[in-house]
Chains A and B, each alone.
Chain A
Amino acid sequence: MPYRVPTRMGDGSLVHLTPGEIEADVRAGVEAAVKRAKVPPLAEDEIEHLVDIYASPARFTGVDIGAEVVLSYDGSGAKTFASRLQDLQMYEQCFAADLVELCHNDYSFKAVKTITAYEAQSMRDAQLALTVPVQYGAMPNLGLYCRPDGPAPNWAELLPLGRFDEARAGQEEAIEFAVTDMVNVGVELAESGADGIDFDTAGAAGDGDFLATLRAAEALRARYPGFGIEIGMAGEFVLGMHGELEYDGVRLAGLWPREQLRLATKAGAHMFGPAVNVNTGKTAAWNVARACTVVKPCVDEATIPIHMNVGMGVGGVPMTTYNPVDAVSRASRACVDILRLDGL
């Protein structure tokens, strides 16, 4: 009977594999990233390190003492336990968060704009009560600006009908609404004392979503030079729902993390969060190997901090609500060790 190590699938389920099978999965994950994202493979010592992390039967693992990184928690002030303010205090006092995020459960700028004054008051209250930095977070969520939820023509309905020009025009109209909302909310929160703003899951609705985010970031940076602006991505590459949109002369459709980072930096972001989606049918070892390989060129080139998304369903953390600490700690350590990240 060969020695088998308890490990996880991408959906969080427990499986038992031999160290050889884990190594094969790590190599396959690297190869999948090389083929898909056209990036260099990890070095041999990096692959061996990933195998060591995932072939261990230990319940928990961590980075070396002195190699710790900044942890930013999107969604930390979302009324999970008590009030939003109490939640933020709990993250500060009990979870050792380095920075926390006030947010609304709807988590979209279009929804938040109608209650911005109340959100600004909540930010002010939080700033008086907390010591750690408090940013405000929401999603650009371009899809909310098309019918029936918003005023713009629905490109998801028009595209299957072959009405491409109308679909593109609908997205261009929605982008203008989204930029206005994100800038207005950002200004209100900045004026209430927020330490920063988090454009979370940028690009979720495709290249138009990403363009709106970049333009909003650029406008806020011009007004607030010391404001924390974080752009966190929704997925590993930008979907070309429009296909012809550009920022700074660069076509947005199909961009991978390194190219996304260049534009986020150009727009004035102070932190960038690449996201690599988890394949639930593959092992956690395969997924983290693929994620590290996709993101490595981005971190190598960065001039601003990289806070990789390593949460439920991204960055090698299984797609499950009740994540096992063995899986989370392995992904956490693997991404920091291999990528030399600035934060998570």
Chain B
Amino acid sequence: MFAMPIAHACASGLGGMRAAGDLVARMQMARGMRLVEAKAYVAERLGVDPSELSDPVLMNERRGELGLGRLTTFEISHPDEPTAIEAKANIAEVLGLEIPAVRLLDERRHHGASLG
């Protein structure tokens, strides 16, 4: 287990939530964009250069500013910032993308009201 995820992540990975890997992945999954196109799209939406999407220092700041969710660590946590499904709602807005779980949340939030 040690070698496969960690070695790949360190050797060639975009960094997931440490940087902007999850955002680029979303464009590949939902729109079928190839890497160059997906990076350019996300970079434009975040106001950064595509080459900066894997920079954890810069992207941590940008994610905090836009409320896209940040990793918590032993040294620091972000209790006053969006996380998980909250962050995904912001990601959907920033990327101009429908995220299924966010759509379901919106639909189900008003479920009781529609019954009453």
User: Interface on A for B, CB 8 Å cutoff?
Assistant: 60-63, 65-73, 76, 80, 91-93, 95-99, 124, 127-133, 135, 190, 192-196, 226-228, 230, 269-271, 302-305, 310-312, 317, 322-325, 327-329, 332-333, 336, 341-344
Contacts and interface: CB of A to CB of B under 8 A. Distances in A.
B26 interface: yes
B114 interface: no
Nearest to B71: A93
30 contacts: A62-B10, A62-B11, A62-B12, A68-B12, A68-B54, A70-B13, A76-B5, A91-B5, A93-B17, A98-B14, A98-B21, A98-B22, A127-B85, A127-B100, A127-B104, A128-B85, A129-B84, A131-B91, A132-B25, A133-B29, A193-B104, A194-B100, A195-B26, A227-B100, A228-B30, A303-B34, A323-B3, A336-B12, A341-B35, A344-B12
Q: Which residue, of B19, B28, B53, has the highest number of chain A Cβ atoms within 10 A?
A: B28
Nearest to A318: B3
B1 interface: yes
A99 B17 contact: no
A131 B28 contact: no
B10 A329 contact: yes
Q: Which one of B5, B72, B104 has the greatest number of beta carbons of chain A within 10 Å?
A: B5
Contacts of B19: 96
Among B10, B29, B35, the one with the most A-chain Cβ atoms within 10 Å of its Cβ is: B29
A91 B15 CA distance: 11
A230 B35 CA distance: 15
Interface in B68-83: 68-69, 71-72, 83
Contacts of A67: 12
Nearest to B73: A93
Contacts of B97: 226
A165 B79 CA distance: 65
A96 B99 contact: no
A343 B28 CA distance: 10
B16 A305 contact: no
Contacts of A195: 26, 29-30, 99-101
A341 B11 CA distance: 14
B87 interface: yes
Contacts of B7: 60, 323, 325, 328-329, 332
Nearest to A194: B100
B10 A270 contact: no
Contacts of A302: 34
B111 interface: no
Contacts of A72: 25
Interface string B97-114: 111110010000000000
Interface in B1-47: 1-19, 21-22, 24-26, 28-35, 38
A196 B32 CA distance: 12
A200 B33 CA distance: 20
A99 B16 CA distance: 7
Contacts of A303: 32, 34
A270 B7 CA distance: 26
B29 A333 contact: no
